[in-house]
Amino acid sequence: MPELRKDPIVGRWVIISTERALRPNNFHADKEEPLTDLSKCPFEPGNEFSTPPEILAYRKPDSKPDEPGWWVRVIPNKYPALRIEGNINKHADGMYDVMNGIGAHEIIIETPNHNEEMALMPETQIKEVLWAWHDRIIDLARDKRLKYAMVFKNKGARAGATLQHPHSQIIALPVVPLHVQEELAGALQYYQYKDRCVFCDLIQQDLSDRKRVVEDTEHFISVVPFAQRFPFETWILPKQHESDYARTTRNDILELAGVLKHTLQRLRGALDDPPFNLVLHMSPLNTESLSHYHWHFEIMPRITHTAGFERGTGFYINPTIPEETAQFLREVQL
């Protein structure tokens, strides 16, 4: 059973994922392994037997579960960081706090096509992926032990991907993670002072001065954040206030798919297909709609190493000027 351990100083939880069973003496750095023989890819149509049974699939009406015929398929991670079975069993280990690693760890296979990637998919396919994220969040919220669902995507080995086939992941946790707690607390403080959502305010400012805007549609905006941590970091936000991604409407999901595609295309064009992480930040599961918080995507290309300074301080050194990267992204030909 994986274990959640709490740092007694800052209260940060860490997953000690013993089931992944990497022993110290056979520990090696992860490496990129480009797959030439697609029959070995566990995410290929026809290889459904090599994954755990599917949790959800969008598939042809006459096709059967765990067989081909799907265009998006969600499965449990075969090597999960957390386990869905069991009790949370919070307890002490002397001065330290521990709980069982209860949670969900799922893979969203985004397409049957191994060599496709999100920036190059048709918008209609990206839309299906966005629906899968949406549907899994709603289903996971039914498990009242789970407090947060984190959707994320690692593209490229340097961004932490171990399989090439386009996929994203959801990890649902029994605690709200520290970064999200910090965002919630900071946004609440701003709201209490100004009576406005800080994200709504930054959208307004960025729309009026336009210096950091990358994409701008009726309901969504993609911007380079003012205090950009990483070169080419880009966020996507709904213009209308909403804290819960799962409350996005049908028409908006299609529009969002377009904004996401164009943003990824621009990053791909600007940086020659960079590795990146994409994360979805939204309100915790089973909370009422929050006036002070605003869901958003954060896309973080991995083109520089973070070093001791960043690790030690939580401070970032960004060697690019955010407004220049925004302009550069706007000028990429789609």
285-314 residues in contact with its own copies (CB under 8 A) are 298, 300, 303-309, 311-314
Interaction residues for its own copies, span 252-271 (CB under 8 A): 270-271
CA distance 256 to 217: 9
* Shortest spacing between CB 302 and its own copies, in angstroms: 8
Q: Mark residues 186-215: x for contact with its own copies by CB under 8 A, - for none.
A: xx--x-------xx-xx--x---x------
Interaction residues for its own copies, span 78-97 (CB under 8 A): 81, 93-96
φ, ψ dihedrals at 77, nearest 5°: -65, 130
DSSP-derived 3-state class of residue 173: strand
CA distance readout (Å), 263 to 33, 38, 88, 266: 27, 29, 40, 5
CA distance 260 to 279: 12
Determine the interface stretch with its own copies among 36-44, 58-66, 135-143, 169-177 (rule: CB under 8 A): 169-177
The yes-or-no answer on residue 167 being catalytic is yes
Interaction residues for its own copies, span 142-161 (CB under 8 A): 150, 152-154, 157-161
Determine the interface stretch with its own copies among 19-27, 52-60, 125-133, 244-252 (rule: CB under 8 A): 19-27
Using CB atoms within 10 Å of the CB of residue 330, give its burial: 0 to 12 exposed, 13 to 18 middle, 19+ buried: middle
CA distance 175 to 15: 11
Q: Where are the beta strands (DSSP E) in 174-295?
A: 213-216, 220-223, 234-238, 276-281
Interaction residues for its own copies, span 39-78 (CB under 8 A): none
CA distance 124 to 17: 36
User: Can you give 92-103 as a three-state secondary structure string?
Assistant: EECCEEEEECEC
* Shortest spacing between CB 29 and its own copies, in angstroms: 5
Q: How many residues bind its own copies (CB under 8 A)?
A: 94
Determine the interface stretch with its own copies among 33-41, 116-124, 134-142, 174-182 (rule: CB under 8 A): 174-182
Q: Is 273 in the site for its own copies (CB under 8 A)?
A: no
Among residues 114, 145, 219, 229, the one that binds its own copies under rule CB under 8 A: 229
Q: Which is nearer to its own copies, 47 or 304 (CB)?
A: 304
Catalytic option among 105, 165, 167, 262 = 167
Instruction: Note whether 252 and 238 are within 8 A (CB).
Output: yes
* Shortest spacing between CB 30 and its own copies, in angstroms: 6
Residues known to be catalytic: 167
